[in-house]
Amino acid sequence: MATWILNGLVWNETTGETELKHIRIAEGVIAQIEDAAAGRPDTNGHDTIDANGKLVSAGFIDMHVHLREPGFEYKEDIASGTRSAAAGGFTTIACMPNTRPVTDTAETVRYILDKAASAGIVNVLPYAAITKNELGRELTDFAALKEAGAVGFTDDGVGVQNAQMMKDAMKLAASMNMPVIAHCEDDSLVVGAAVTEGKFAAANGLKGIPNESEAIHVGRDILLAEATGVHYHVCHVSTEQSVRLIRHAKQFGINVTAEVCPHHLILSDEDIPGMDANWKMNPPLRTPRDVQAVIEGLQDGTLDIIVTDHAPHSAEEKAKGMLLAPFGITGFETAFPLLYTRFVRTGRWTLGFLLQRMTSDPARVFGLQSGVLNVGAPADLTIVDLENEREVKPETFASKGKNTPFGGWKLFGWPTATIVNGSLVWSEQ
């Protein structure tokens, strides 16, 4: 049984233009790509999906998300999180281990994989913790976690404070050809602050989170990556100093890659409207100068990929206010429209540049087969309406988390259908 996706607008990297194509998918892979100009193919007996001139892209890949299960199902669970991912056009996501229990045993890795398989919506790649309970005291059993299906090691949510612990983790991960993914934050430089050092903190008499709390770990870990040879991947880069350090490390051929989130590319601390916890995430929104630096870092290849850091929380938790609420915002269902509207429609980036950072680049960085629209690649595809403007309505999110600073924004670039492994897993109502 095959499915034809007809009249899809496909980005051609060689010409830098879009072209209308018919795409046949069969047995979970892309089987055929034809010029639409050659006429309608013989679809007799096959399913068809008419893309009607909408964009058809390789499905988006998000290598940094929080699905909250096990343990925090009131915030999100694997079923709601993967549905939200599909609604955002994502077909593969990698979930962070700050669950309860922490994903620090083979059993919990398998639990997540089983739940994701039974939800059957998008591909879920679990990360496992570097240290037991993410407490920074004792390494987890890397071999058993890898064997169970973990795709990398990270203590996301917190930084690994002890340099020797991080070095031991990197040495072990390198010996197993596994990446170490780091939430960079030095606790001794963060003293219970909720927002960055900058104008918003000053205007409101708040303590701020300094840029060095992130960049010190980036610098330390780059040196440790050089010493151990591990693939070191930096989470959610938010500061000018981190971009500088990563750029320098890449010039020296150190095996470092990095990610950036839509909110750090689009918002600064000066956009925060007031003491509203929907603007609270970690790392925090930084200064306009940092925003400029992460944009330039992405543009010159210092930062490799875009991730959402989808971090749903309940309305009750976020209602505690800027100082007491947990860090994090939801990301899946606004990521592509935000970036497309802000950077592509304005002519600052080509459509191809944005698509690559959300598809082929994450696949390259993490060695995945997907992320390309080629014959033989997995049939993970996203169909996107580039022409109709719509308002962000958090109450309509498939995610349980409605915590976003982007409510009410008018955006273009809304996903309308998502296909994973050849099956339609989500489509616009």
282 lies in the site for ligand DOR, by CB under 6 A: yes
- Could you list the residues known to form a binding site for substrate, using ranges: 66-68, 98, 282, 313, 327-328
Q: How far apart, in whole angstroms, are the C-alpha atoms of residue 73 and residue 400?
A: 9
Strands 381-385 and 414-420, sheet pairing: antiparallel
309 lies in the site for Zn ion, by CB under 5 A: yes
378 lies in the site for ligand DOR, by CB under 6 A: no
Q: How far apart, in whole angstroms, are the C-alpha atoms of residue 270 and residue 274?
A: 10
146 lies in the site for ligand DOR, by CB under 6 A: no
Mark the segment that binds ligand DOR (CB under 6 A) among 56-64, 238-246, 288-296, 326-334: 326-334
**From the list ligand DOR, Zn ion, none, which binds 152 (C-beta under 5 to 8 Å, kind-based)?**
none
Mark the segment that binds ligand DOR (CB under 6 A) among 101-109, 324-332, 335-343, 385-393: 324-332
Residues numbered 223-252 forming contacts with Zn ion, rule: CB under 5 A: 235
Mark the segment that binds ligand DOR (CB under 6 A) among 12-20, 195-203, 261-269, 321-329: 321-329
Residues numbered 409-428 forming contacts with ligand DOR, rule: CB under 6 A: none
Among 156, 240, 304, 385, contact with Zn ion (rule: CB under 5 A): 156
Strands 232-234 and 180-182, sheet pairing: parallel
Residues numbered 159-188 forming contacts with ligand DOR, rule: CB under 6 A: 183
328 lies in the site for ligand DOR, by CB under 6 A: yes
Using CB atoms within 10 Å of the CB of residue 91, give its burial: 0 to 12 exposed, 13 to 18 middle, 19+ buried: buried
Per-residue contact track with ligand DOR, 27 to 66, x per CB under 6 A? Answer: ---------------------------------------x
225 lies in the site for ligand DOR, by CB under 6 A: no
Number of shown-chain residues binding Zn ion (CB under 5 A): 4
Peptide bond before residue 70 is cis, with ω within 30 degrees of 0: yes
221 lies in the site for Zn ion, by CB under 5 A: no
Q: How far apart, in whole angstroms, are the C-alpha atoms of residue 29 and residue 22?
A: 14
Closer to ligand DOR by Cβ: residue 62 or 380: 62
Say which of 77, 269, 309, 361 is annotated catalytic: 309
DSSP labels, 68-113:
-TTT-TTT--HHHHHHHHHHTTEEEEEE-S-SSS-S-SHHHHHHHH
Asked if 379 and 33 count as a contact pair (C-beta separation under 8 A), the reply is: no
Among 41, 71, 244, 327, contact with ligand DOR (rule: CB under 6 A): 327
Among 181, 243, 281, 344, contact with ligand DOR (rule: CB under 6 A): 281
Q: How far apart, in whole angstroms, are the C-alpha atoms of residue 72 and residue 101?
A: 10
Q: How far apart, in whole angstroms, are the C-alpha atoms of residue 28 and residue 30?
A: 7
Asked if 39 and 82 count as a contact pair (C-beta separation under 8 A), the reply is: no
Output the smallest distance, CB 328 to Zn ion, in A.
Answer: 7
Peptide bond before residue 262 is cis, with ω within 30 degrees of 0: no
Closer to ligand DOR by Cβ: residue 156 or 380: 156
Closer to ligand DOR by Cβ: residue 238 or 341: 238
Asked if 281 and 263 count as a contact pair (C-beta separation under 8 A), the reply is: yes
157 lies in the site for ligand DOR, by CB under 6 A: yes
Q: How far apart, in whole angstroms, are the C-alpha atoms of residue 185 and residue 203?
A: 24
Look up 309 and say whether it is catalytic.
yes
Asked if 155 and 185 count as a contact pair (C-beta separation under 8 A), the reply is: no
Give the footprint of ligand DOR on this chain (CB under 6 A): 66, 98, 156-157, 183, 281-282, 311, 326-328
Q: Kindly list the catalytic residues.
A: 309
